[in-house]
Structure 1
Amino acid sequence: MGKVKPLFQVISYLQYPLLLVALGYMAYPYFAGFDRFWTSANNALIFAGLGVGFSTLQDTGTTQNEFSRKIWQSPRKGMITLAVISATTLVFLLVGMYGLYFARPGIIKDVSFGMLTLGLGYVGLLKAAIEMHEHHRIAPETPESP
C-alpha cells in the first residue's frame, strides 16, 4: 500500500501535458482560422477536464505553495473556496448536460461534451479540495473547560 501513493503522485504529472494540449487547441484557431473555433474550444475543454482530473491524484496531505497553505489553513477562506469550486462544478455539469441533451445545434451544443468533461474533472478537484481543507485547517482556539 505504501507504493501506491507515490505512484499516483507520479501519474498526476500527466496533468501538465494534458493542459498543454488544451492550450494548443485554444491557440489553434489563431493559425487555422476561426471557423473551427468552437470545435477547438470543445477539445480544449475536454483536455482541460482530463488535466484537472489527473491533478487530483496528487497527495492532499501537502500544499504546493504558501498561497494554497494560507487558503486551506483558514476555515473561512477554505469554505469560500469550496463554495466557489462547488458552484463552478455545478455550472459546468448543468450546462454540459443541457447542451448534450436539450440544446439546439449551436454554440452550447458544440461545447457541451467539453463542459461535461471539465465538470467531471472539477468533481475530482472538489473532492481533493475538501481533503485539503480537512488536512490543513487550523481550528479556532477553544477555551478549556475546568
Structure 2
Amino acid sequence: MLLADHKELFLDSLLSNANITLMLMGVGVSFASLQDTSKTQNKLSLRIYQNPRKSKLFLILVIVLIFIFLIAGLIGFFSSSERAISELSIGSIVLAIGMMGMLKAVVEMAEHHSME
C-alpha cells in the first residue's frame, strides 16, 4: 500500500513539473519571437531561409507542431477528469500559443531572407 502511494505521488510530481516546463518553454519561445527578423542567428538558419523549398518545409513543420500541441492540449483539457492531466494540457496549450508568435517571426524571416 505504501509503495502505491509513493508511485502516485511521484507521477503527480512528474506531471506537475512537466506542466511547469511546458509553460516556461511557451513563455521563452514567445520572448524569442521578439528578435530582429532581419538577422539570422547562424549559417544554418540563413541556408534554410534562403532556399524557398527548405523554408516552406520549415514553415509546415512549425505549423504541424503548433497544431499537435494545441489539439493535444485541448483534448486533454476537456476530456480528462484528472487534475494532473488537465494541468499538463494547459502547459501544452501555452507552448502552442508561444509557438504561434514564433511562427510569425519565422514567416518574416523567410520573406526577408528569400533569394527570389
TM-score exceeds 0.5: yes
Counterpart code for 1:51: G
1:109 aligned residue: 86
1:137 aligned residue: 114
Choose the corresponding residue for 1:91, options 64, 68, 79: 68
1:4 aligned residue: none
Q: Trace 1:59-78 onto structure 2 (pairs within 5 A).
A: 59-78=36-55
Structure 1 stretches of 5 or more lacking a match?
Answer: 1-32, 140-146
* TM-score, normalised by the number of residues in structure 1: 0.69
Cα deviation for residue 84 of structure 1 reads 0.3
Cα deviation for residue 106 of structure 1 reads 6.8
Conserved 8 A contact 2:16-2:84: no
- Alpha-carbon distance between aligned partners in 2 of 1:107 and 1:47, rounded to the nearest angstrom: 17
2:27 aligned residue: 50
Counterpart code for 2:58: T
Cα deviation for residue 97 of structure 1 reads 1.4
CA RMSD, 1 decimal:
1.5
* TM-score, normalised by the number of residues in structure 2: 0.86
1:28 aligned residue: none
Cα deviation for residue 34 of structure 1 reads 3.8
Structure 2 stretches of 5 or more lacking a match?
Answer: 1-8
Identity of matched residues, %: 37
Q: Which structure's relative contact order is higher, taking Cα pairs within 8 Å and 6+ residues apart?
A: 2
Counterpart code for 1:64: Q
Would you tell me which structure has more helix in proportion to its own residues? 2
Runs of 4+ in 1 over 6 A off after TM superposition: none
- Alpha-carbon distance between aligned partners in 2 of 1:41 and 1:121, rounded to the nearest angstrom: 16
- Alpha-carbon distance between aligned partners in 2 of 1:108 and 1:133, rounded to the nearest angstrom: 36
Counterpart code for 2:46: R
